[in-house]
Amino acid sequence: MHPPDDDRDPRETPDPRADDTAAPEGFGGPSAPGLPEWPPPTTASLLHHLLDQAPIGICMTDTELRCVWVNEALVRSGGVPREERLGKRLTELFPDLPTAEIEGVMRRVLATGVPEIDREYQGSTHAAPGTLRAYSTSFFRVDGPDGTPLGVSYIVVDVTDRWRAQQRLGLLSDAARHIGTTLDVATTAQELADAAVPALADFVAVDLLEDVLHGIEPAPGPMQEDPLLRRVGQRSTQDDMRETIAQIGEHARVFPNSPAAHAIVDGKAMLEAVLDPDALPWLASDKTASERVREIGLHTMMVVPIRARGTMLGVAHFFRRHTPNPFEPDDLILAEEFVSRAAVSIDNARRFTKEHAAALALQRSLLPHGLPVQSAVEVTSRYLPANDRAGVGGDWFDVIPLSGARVALVVGDVVGHGAHAAATMGRLRASVHTLADLDMPPDELLAHLDDIVMRFVDEEARGTDPDADAGEVSTAALGASCLYAAYDPVTRRCTMARAGHPPPAIVHPDGSVEFPDLPAGPPLGLGGLPFESAEFELPEGTLIVLYTDGLVGGSRGADIDQGLDRLRGALADADRPLDEISHAILATLADRPPTDDIALLVARTHALDATHVVTWDLPADPAVVSDARALVDRQLSEWDLDDAAFTTELVVSELVTNAIRYAAGPITLRLIRDTNLICEVSDGTATSPRLRHARTTDEGGRGLFLVSQFAQRWGTRYTADGKTIWAEQPLAPPE
């Protein structure tokens, strides 16, 4: 330092090249008062010593990219002694680094003088062979005093921790997108394995408790050491899949005292950094597993329990086979993150499986378990539930025997999916049965069903919010559709009405297909709009095809006309058995699995000819009762039904007597020989008879009571001209 009284001009700066002890330009300067001069003498040796002690790697190359100086930090991280490194290029020293790319950057910096900052790359060095590390390197050109390029200097920083953290964040982000895309337990387990291979492990196996696969929540409390696990998902970097002993769907054994056993019991993840059969008793005890580990080179393992909401669901295994790095504690943390994300999705899928199974069981219990015995039509039915994503729907069908050997064919569709839709379907189906027992015409039946749906909506509104308006409440019943068809095999006439439902398909015996112009009618629950019916005469052997809109694509937003055209094509060759026709329809139109429930009902009509039906017109005279009994007795004898003569005469006598005494207009007696013997008496009044229990002192009132005792079923059917009282008697099966 110059003394304060130095008379030299302070603006004069000595030439650093004049004295090798002077500080480089811009490097030093006057020190603050009280501090020693900086830099001190022998600056070059001091700088050399300083750079050599720097904690980051620094290297200087010449214009041929040969190393001319390297500090101790870079020597340690590279694993090559300084004397071996000097005079060598990177491509000669580090085959496991992208040295060609690095030297390309250095040449560009040397040529342009523009530095390259924070160039990142990955590889391994001789200090840790086979261990992948990440480096950030900055390159700059070194010029001489005259501006001539002397070479390139670069600074290397090990950023492996940052790189791995970024990699883990990226993996977790990918896992969040790819795990839990469905509400299927097995699919979610497989997604966990797919997300972790090869990013984290070379092989991953996912084993779940048997109860989880069936939607059952495992019992609380500690788990047993050898629970029943099944292999649900697995993935390997190799196609041979030699790492696994258990295949998908098979029982996955848990070795006693193994990390998997401890993880299941304790609920804690386990890390075996070195998978050595000779050093691990639990592995050495299983000869097959230990030989497999040695044979294919499994050398490190992690086991993570799959837990969600405090419930043990299973266990996930992570192995490395070709990746040389053993698993580290940070890898275990990442594996736990993967598994925790999957566990929530698996538990959600398990809950959905349970709810779906319950809804499906409810739906199946509410659908017909078998078609009733009747001879009016030959019937076959199919029901295809929607895929799991859509859930259980509310489609339904029914075949309901009616009086007079007639039959009702019904299909319906409830809006929405799930247990609510299935329960609503059951309520509607029960309502249709009740209304059908009253022998209502199809249009009148739908009008009453519409009133019932509006009551459903009103009930739900009151149950949800006492102040809510029914029109503001969303319910599965509101907007339901239904098609009701009643077929009479005696007259061969079919009366149909529909409420917001696709039209039926009619296939005539000549093979022609038509979709009759049936008044559409509004969906159920709208109220105030009329329903209309249409009547058709169908030749014997006609096919009536009823279906829900899931078959023709109406529920999926597809063009329903295209769906009807495809249905028309599937109904060709109507002489085939009904099962073949149904299979052809579903094969042509239905997805596998469908996105919406499909209910299909195919019926082939039969007819009852004059040999099975006889009709008499009777005058309204009490004397005709004995004649009616004689006519019936004679007809039953022709039909070889003499055993039924006494009961039938009694029933006919009571019904004709009631008609003569209480009714007006013409009286008609009809016998129908079907699966049952049916007696019908029609008159011109709409007055309904009433069954009552007569007292011992009463002289009358026992007629209908006797009919109800002798008949299997009886009832009243109203027509445009009056009413018909009917009674059915079972017939003994032919020998």
Angle separating helix axes 329-366 and 419-437, nearest 10 degrees? 0
Q: In this predicted structure, what is the pLDDT of residue 583?
A: 93
Mean pLDDT computed over every residue of the chain: 84
In tens, the pLDDT along 105-149 reads 999 999 999 999 999 999 999 888 878 899 999 999 999 888 899
Give 353-385 as a 3 state SS string: HHHHHHHHHHHHHHCCCCCCCCCCEEEEEEEEC
The string of pLDDT tens digits covering residues 201-247 is 999 999 999 989 888 887 665 566 567 899 999 999 988 888 888 89
Instruction: Report d(CA 615, CA 189) in Å as an integer.
Output: 70
Q: Which two tokens stand for residue 476?
A: 């599965």
Neighbours of 376 (CB within 10 A): 28
Q: Strand pairing of 149-158 and 57-62?
A: antiparallel
pLDDT in tens, 485-512: 999 999 999 999 999 999 999 999 999 9
Q: What is the pLDDT of residues 414-427, one digit of tens each?
A: 887 777 888 888 89
| Residue 301 neighbours by CB under 8 Å, 6+ apart | 259, 271, 272, 275, 317, 318, 319, 320, 327
pLDDT for 13 equals 40
Domain definitions of the chain by residue range: 1-38, 54-158, 164-357, 372-605, 613-730
SS3 category, 121:
strand
Q: How confident is the model at residue 355 (pLDDT cuts 50, 70, 90)?
A: confident
Instruction: Please answer whether residues 413 and 424 qualify as being in contact, where contact means their C-beta atoms are separated by less than 8 angstroms.
Output: no
Residue 497 near residue 531 (C-beta atoms within 8 A): yes
What pLDDT is recorded for position 666?
83
Question: Of the ranges 9-13, 185-189, 232-236, which one carries the lowest mean pLDDT score?
Answer: 9-13
What pairs with residue 301 in β-bridges? 272, 319
The residue type at 270: M
Which CATH superfamily does the domain covering 613-730 fall into?
Answer: Histidine kinase-like ATPase, C-terminal domain (3.30.565.10)
Specify the pLDDT at position 20. Answer: 42
Task: Decide yes or no: CATH 3.30.450.20 for domain 54-158.
Answer: yes
What does the pLDDT read at residue 48?
A: 67
Q: Do domains 54-158 and 613-730 have the same CATH topology?
A: no
The helix/strand/coil state of 329 is helix
Question: In whole angstroms, what is the distance from residue 170 CA to residue 90 CA?
Answer: 31
Is the pLDDT reported for residue 558 higher than 70? Answer: no
Amino acid at 183: L
Evaluate if pTM is beyond 0.85.
no
CATH code for residues 372-605 = 3.60.40.10
The single-letter DSSP state of residue 16 is G
Long-range contacts of 71-79 (CB under 8 A, 24+ apart): 74/156, 76/127, 77/125, 77/127, 77/156, 77/158, 78/125, 78/126, 78/127, 79/125, 79/126, 79/127, 79/128
CATH number for the domain formed by residue range(s) 164-357? 3.30.450.40
